Amino acid sequence: MKAMINKIEVNLNAIVNNLNVVKKQLDPECKIIGVVKANAYGHGLIETARSAWTAGADILATASLDEAVALRVAKIKAPIIVLSYVEPVEFRRVLDFDITLTIFDYQTAVKLDREAAKQNKWAKVDIKVDTGMNRYGFAPYEALDNYKKIMALDHIKITGIHSHFAEPENREFTKNQINIFQNVLFGFQQNRISPPMVHISATKGILLFPESHFDAVRIGLALYGYCGNVFPESGLIPALELKSHIAQIRRVGPGETISYDRTFKAKSPMKVAVIPIGYADGYPRALTNKGELLVNSKRARVVGRVCMNIFMADVTGISCSAGDEVILIGSEGDDKVDAEDLANWGETIPNEILSRLSPTIPREYHFK
């Protein structure tokens, strides 16, 4: 078997565990939408999606049509919804592969209906309502009229209606979003319209607002073992480990500097490991002089600028040599470094850390 300089290991049992952890928070009839966009948050689209589906996800969600089609080509037969924009020139593929589109303006629905009429097929759509993100979605006051117009199109089948929380930790703002959404739904009820599926909550909303579960929830970050510290004793297990190797050991003298822009100067003799992974691979430049990693179960610190495909780490006092494996995300011995740690050091969120891991890094899948 070919040795890999850098690799990602994915524990598929963790995916199963995490889905079941969230499932326990829900009523039995509440559906689960497994969000596998952005290459399944860096975990690898196909294997992760297949595990989520077989573990009990009722629906899978992507951000792009290409990812949705890739799932179909892999013979994954679950209902699939694309949560983001799809160009009208792609509508034939949408219909060919039985994909549900998110619709947030009427003209797009009309174009989709025309293409479906040409093919004599039903086009499936999920209506998006904006309740405070000011991103995609119909304004609350126009949602009912547009829903009626879309429902009247001859080749459109509405599968559901949804919205998205802007800041779930802000209870007042989120409660207001829920109220706006409920008022929209009340207007539907007054008009004797019952959407087939209603959903608004993603990971944090699921945990913080049980009243927002409605008919379905979207599990993104929690599926991969993280919940943004809103539920620290949740039982979620991070599913991904990122590993590399020491390419070279260097000795650096007092006063010498390391890497671009010379942002790090040694105060005393140092032993430095050169690690062949960098920001082009998804290891953030923001971890310059901040990040930590595990080297033979000991903590080492990033020193100097993280380069495009290389960074350096202070391994002074750690028994190690060229060729030794290092853990950039994961656990070893009694210690661990997870995506939440990298996010804190890099002043971002674990979603970004995970989703930016390069697709070119080989993935290995295990049932641990």
* pLDDT tens digits along 72-85: 999 999 999 999 99
* pLDDT score of 2: 54
Per-residue confidence at 230, pLDDT binned at 50, 70, 90?
A: confident
Active-site entry in 118, 148, 149, 260:
260
Enclosing domain of residue 125: 12-224
Read off the CATH number of the domain in which 198 is found.
3.20.20.10
Do 213 and 285 lie in one domain? The reply is no
* pLDDT score of 9: 98
Read off the CATH number of the domain in which 292 is found.
2.40.37.10
What percentage of the chain reaches a pLDDT higher than 90? 96
Do 352 and 204 lie in one domain? The reply is no
Do 24 and 122 lie in one domain? The reply is yes
> Exposed (0-12), middle (13-18) or buried (19+): which is 49, by Cβ within 10 Å?
buried
Has residue 99 been placed in a domain? yes
Do 212 and 288 lie in one domain? The reply is no
Per-residue confidence at 311, pLDDT binned at 50, 70, 90?
A: very high
Do 96 and 218 lie in one domain? The reply is yes
* pLDDT score of 1: 46
Rg value, the chain, Cα? 23
Has residue 234 been placed in a domain? no
Do 217 and 268 lie in one domain? The reply is no
Do 207 and 265 lie in one domain? The reply is no
Do 198 and 297 lie in one domain? The reply is no
Has residue 233 been placed in a domain? no
DSSP character string of 299-365: EEEEES---SS-EEEE-TT----TT-EEEEEEEETTEEE-HHHHHHHHTS-HHHHHHTS-TTS-EEE
Active-site entry in 37, 124, 204, 243:
37
Catalytic status, residue 37:
yes
240: helix, coil or strand? strand
120: helix, coil or strand? coil
Report how far residue 231's alpha carbon sits from residue 218's, in angstroms, rounded to the nearest whole number. Answer: 17
**For residue 255, which amino acid is it?**
G
How many domains does the structure of the chain reveal?
Answer: 2
* pTM of the predicted protein model: 0.95
Q: What is the dihedral of CA 174, 178, 180, 186, to 10 degrees?
A: -170
* 185 contacts 198 by C-beta, under 8 angstroms: yes
* pLDDT score of 61: 98
Do 245 and 219 lie in one domain? The reply is no
Do 108 and 193 lie in one domain? The reply is yes
Query: With the C-alpha atoms ordered 352, 49, 134, 206, is the resulting torsion angle positive or negative?
Result: negative
Q: Are strands 264-265 and 240-245 parallel, antiparallel or unpaired?
A: unpaired
Q: For residue 270, is pLDDT > 90?
A: yes
* pLDDT score of 233: 60
What percentage of the chain reaches a pLDDT higher than 70? 98
**For residue 72, which amino acid is it?**
R
Q: Chain centroid to CA 125: how far?
A: 22
- Rounded to an integer, the average pLDDT of 135-143 is 98
Has residue 230 been placed in a domain? no
- Give the residue from 167, 200, 224 where a domain finishes: 224
User: What angle (nearest 5°) sits at the alpha carbon of residue 326, between those of residues 323 and 332?
Assistant: 130
> Exposed (0-12), middle (13-18) or buried (19+): which is 38, by Cβ within 10 Å?
buried
- Give the residue from 224, 255, 278 where a domain finishes: 224
Neighbours of 118 (CB within 10 A): 12
- Give the residue from 197, 224, 251 where a domain finishes: 224
Has residue 299 been placed in a domain? yes
Residue 40 DSSP code? H
* 246 contacts 324 by C-beta, under 8 angstroms: yes
Do 295 and 334 lie in one domain? The reply is yes
Has residue 1 been placed in a domain? no
Catalytic status, residue 85:
no
- Rounded to an integer, the average pLDDT of 303-331 is 98
Has residue 175 been placed in a domain? yes
Do 161 and 255 lie in one domain? The reply is no
Has residue 252 been placed in a domain? yes
